[in-house]
Amino acid sequence: MNAINNQDSVFCPALFLTAPASGQGKTTVTAALARMLKRQGKVVRVFKTGPDFLDPQILAQASGEHVEQLDLWMAGENYCRYQFYQAAKEADLIIVEGAMGMFDGEPSSADLAATFNIPMAIVMDVKGMAQTAAAISMGLANYRDDVQVAGLIANSCSTERHRQLIEDALPESLPLLATLARSELVALPERHLGLVQASEVRDELEQRFEAGADWLVEAGLENILERFTNVEFKFAELPIAEAYLKDTVIAVAQDEAFSFIYQANLLILQELGAEVKFFSPLHDAVIPAADALWLPGGYPELHAQALAKNVSMLKSMKEFSDTQKPILAECGGFLYCLENLTDLNDDTHVMANILAGQGAMKGKRGCQGMQTAIFPEGEIRAHAHHRSRSFNMPEALSHGRRQRHPAPGEAIYRHNNLNASYLHLFFPSNPKAISCLFNPALTDAINL
């Protein structure tokens, strides 16, 4: 391990992979780099910028380590600092994969890198251009004074002449770190919301990770650790949550249809004292014995027929709802609670019917972006990302507050014991409010 420890800081090599836009190959390069170093026996801790559920699944398999999502707005600077500090204590290298383009979003990938002084490498698909790739890279590198750019990784660089044209156009201060030939062997499988879930294509991903590692070795990146100096990650600690949910058992849906779960959410539930029991709405007959239920997001639209055919589970959902025990349903979990869901083939399937309304996969555009979920119990940072629509819904309890836009955000519904919306909540942003959602009896006892 390369980390150097003292009481206040940990020093560890770190690299932030960014790009001028989405679709440049950031995740492919990040996964390949993590696997290449893992093959060398190195401990690689990978982080993903923003509220992404799919990329972290891929990167966790590639690195063999859990992957946290980091966002300065949703999680806060201290939370991010804590995660970096803890990772640096054990890692030989920290890799951060950016989101979208380098300066897109508020906060952006560049904001996160600048806050923690992590050097950035630009990953760019250079097919169809040469000197222009150098010009774009120089523009990105010089756009802000507080961002360090270590160099360019030219993806889809077809020939030696192509490489030479790009390299000659770059200044000495912005080196060409590597050129990567176009390869179908390393491309990661995708679908309508992004990458395919790792659990669905685990064997195929292993083949692509190994091919990706070879791809980087051929590009001369085998000794990449030697190119980067240590970054200082300062000490940080998180507030200790009180055990408001002690003796509370929370059943959490987790399978191919419901997998959009922040590891941070599970950890805060456990810190609050809750016991988590996982179950599968697809494969299990009933919900396990529990005091509360969490239905996270995922891909119910891809498994709507199987969900509808699991009549025993639908009956169990109805019976659980009738007990008035708390239920939190997010995005895909919200769709599962409705009367029915129309899938991508325009086939309509019966769902749990514990909230009036219908869901449908309609149109190519959906809603995405950061929002604050407004509950009587408190405000919780969240985000939305979906391509479906809901119809014939009851009156909303409230609407999310968008991060930057005055228009109302996602509708939040409350029906008896059920809180449901398209929003994915980040539990650590307000542990007290989360505790009250899973145990409403606490609302008067906790000083919100």
pLDDT digits (tens, 9 = 90+) for 286-313: 999 999 999 999 999 999 999 999 999 9
pLDDT (tens digit, 9 = 90+) per residue, 346-362? 999 999 999 999 999 87
Residue 64's CB is within 10 A of a number of other CB atoms, namely 11
Q: Residue 406's pLDDT is what?
A: 85
Is the model's pLDDT at 365 over the cut of 60? no
Asked if pLDDT for residue 336 goes beyond 60, the answer is: yes
Strand 120-125, strand 93-97: pairing: unpaired
Q: What is the mean pLDDT of residues 8-30?
A: 94
Using 50, 70 and 90 to split pLDDT, how confident is the model at 314? Answer: very high
pLDDT over 80 (residue 196): no
Question: pLDDT tens digits, residue range 4-16?
Answer: 555 689 999 999 9
Residue 1 has pLDDT above 70, yes or no: no
The whole-number pLDDT of residue 153 equals 95
The Cα-based distances of 64 to 42, 160, 184, 276 in angstroms read 10, 34, 23, 23
For residues 192-218, give the mean pLDDT: 77
Closest CA to 299 of 381, 198, 393, 392: 198
pLDDT of res. 221: 87
The rounded distance, in Å, linking the Cα atoms of 256 and 5 is 41
Residue 366 has pLDDT above 80, yes or no: no
Q: Would the pLDDT of 136 be above 90?
A: yes
Which pLDDT belongs to residue 445?
77
Contact predicate 182/156, CB 8 Å: yes
Which active-site residues does the annotation give?
Answer: 331
Which domains are seen in the chain, by residue range? 7-234 (3.40.50.300), 249-442 (3.40.50.880)
The pTM assigned to this predicted structure is 0.91
The answer, yes or no, to whether residue 171 has pLDDT greater than 80, is yes
Q: What is the mean pLDDT of the chain?
A: 92
Q: Which burial class, exposed, middle or buried, applies to 156 when counting CB atoms under 10 A from its CB (0-12, 13-18, 19+)?
A: middle
Reported as a pLDDT band with limits 50, 70 and 90, residue 188 is: confident
pLDDT band at 444 (very low <50, low <70, confident <90, very high): confident
Residue 417 pLDDT greater than 60, yes or no: yes
- Contact predicate 85/10, CB 8 Å: yes
The three-class DSSP label of residue 336 is helix
pLDDT tier at 204 (50, 70, 90 boundaries)? Answer: confident
Q: So what's the pLDDT on residue 431?
A: 96
Q: Which residues pair with 275 in a beta bridge?
A: 249
Q: What band does 73 get if pLDDT is binned at 50, 70 and 90?
A: very high
DSSP letters along 221-259, please? -TTGGGG--EEEEE---PPPPP-TTTT-EEEEE-SSSEE
Cα radius of gyration (the chain): 23
Which of the pair, 194 or 409, is modelled with greater confidence?
Answer: 409
Mean local confidence (pLDDT), 243-250:
96
Contact 2, 93 (CB under 8 A): yes
pLDDT at 126: 96
The model's confidence at residue 411, banded by pLDDT at 50, 70 and 90, is very high
What is the per-residue pLDDT across 45-57, written as a single tens digit (0 to 9) for each?
999 999 888 889 8
Work out the percent of the chain whose per-residue pLDDT is above 70: 94
Q: How confident is the model at residue 241 (pLDDT cuts 50, 70, 90)?
A: confident
Residue 316, pLDDT above cutoff 90:
yes
Which amino acid, one-letter code, is at 229? T
d(CA 177, CA 173): 12
Residue 286 CB burial class (10 angstroms; 0-12, 13-18, ≥19)? middle
**Which of 132-146, 182-196, 222-236, 382-396 tops mean pLDDT?**
132-146
Cβ contacts of 40 within 8 Å, gap of 6 or more: none
DSSP state of 25: S
pLDDT of residue 39: 95
pLDDT of 191 reads 46
What digits encode the pLDDT tens for the residues 427-437? 999 999 999 99
pLDDT of residue 227: 80
SS3 assignment, position 429? helix
Q: Which residue has the higher pLDDT, 254 or 385?
A: 254
